[in-house]
Amino acid sequence: MKRELDACQLAERSVSKKYRKEIWNPFIAAVKHYELVEPGDKIAVCVSGGKDSMLLAKLMQMLRRYTETPFELVFLMMDPGYAPDNRQLIEENAALLRIPLTVFETDVFQVANGTEKNPCYLCARMRRGHLYSEAQRLGCNKIALGHHFSDVIETTVMGMLYGAQLQAMLPKLHSDNYPGMSLIRPLYCVHEDAILAWQRYNHLRFIQCACRFTEREAGEEHGGKRREIKELIRQLKRQNPDVEKSIFASLHNLCLDTFPGYKHEGKGHSFLERYKANERTL
């Protein structure tokens, strides 16, 4: 008699079978290509409760099960002041997917919502700081966040159109404020559409945006620029289905010699520096 799989087993099987090409393979490719997981790592997988972080937690759990690379995991959930329903949904999903959460509480939402100037920026910085601090306290040397391929593309385009800069999102980076700590993004090559398809296939419901500021400003546009960029990319894909791949590839093929200006380690540089140096050698 064929054994019936439970919800967790079905979710795992769909990753390794049905969505192997769209999720598992690009996840493994990012881990290997960018050297995100190394022997002896203790990684805090940051679980916010959304689709991205929950899938990331499951993928990292499966990776540890199948890989020969020895590393440890902590599934770290910070409660910044979630509404009770959201907190409950996160815990129910973690139990369903057999993800053992390590929970700690902060007052990030309360503090961020108390300011009128850039509450979203303040919230993001505070949340990142608390996650680094708690992960370090638990003996971790890395935190893993759920930013995916689509985030990389959208952030790059948004920075160019609205921030007047060509700035990408790195797959891993050292922390400036927490010595010995690094941040990694294992979903770097996984498209958001694949994550949504996996969620729908498994009939899973995750929290959307748990931000209290969003609740307070429910009648106003929130995150409008991000939505504009998503729509712009959708329009471009109608003419060129590979436009996202081209943008992503361009991030790995930067021709610095053709840029009139650039920044390195926070310091601005001009092409004139190279131009005058070459002139002196003629």
Does residue 72 contact residue 42 with C-beta atoms inside 8 Å? Answer: yes
DSSP at 256: G
Of the candidates 276, 23, 277, the one whose C-alpha atom is nearest the C-alpha of residue 149 is 23
Query: Residue-wise pLDDT tens for the chain (282 aa)?
Result: 457 889 999 999 999 999 999 999 999 999 999 999 999 999 999 999 999 999 999 999 999 999 999 999 999 999 998 999 999 999 999 999 999 999 999 988 888 777 777 777 788 888 899 999 999 999 999 999 999 999 999 999 999 999 999 999 999 999 999 999 999 999 999 999 999 999 999 999 999 866 655 444 433 344 578 889 999 999 999 999 999 999 999 999 999 899 999 998 889 999 999 898 887 776
| 118 φψ region: left (φ > 0), alpha (ψ -120 to 50), beta (else) | left
Residue 11 CB contacts under 8 Å (≥ 6 apart), including other chains: 58, 97, 198, 202, 204
Taking the C-alpha atoms of residue 202 and residue 220, their distance in angstroms, rounded to an integer, is: 32
Tell me the HSE value of 26 on the side-chain side, using a 13 A CA sphere: 17
pLDDT at position 1, please?
Answer: 47
Domains of the chain in start order, with CATH, are 7-149+161-219 (3.40.50.620)
pLDDT at position 210, please?
Answer: 60
Does residue 191 contact residue 151 with C-beta atoms inside 8 Å? Answer: no
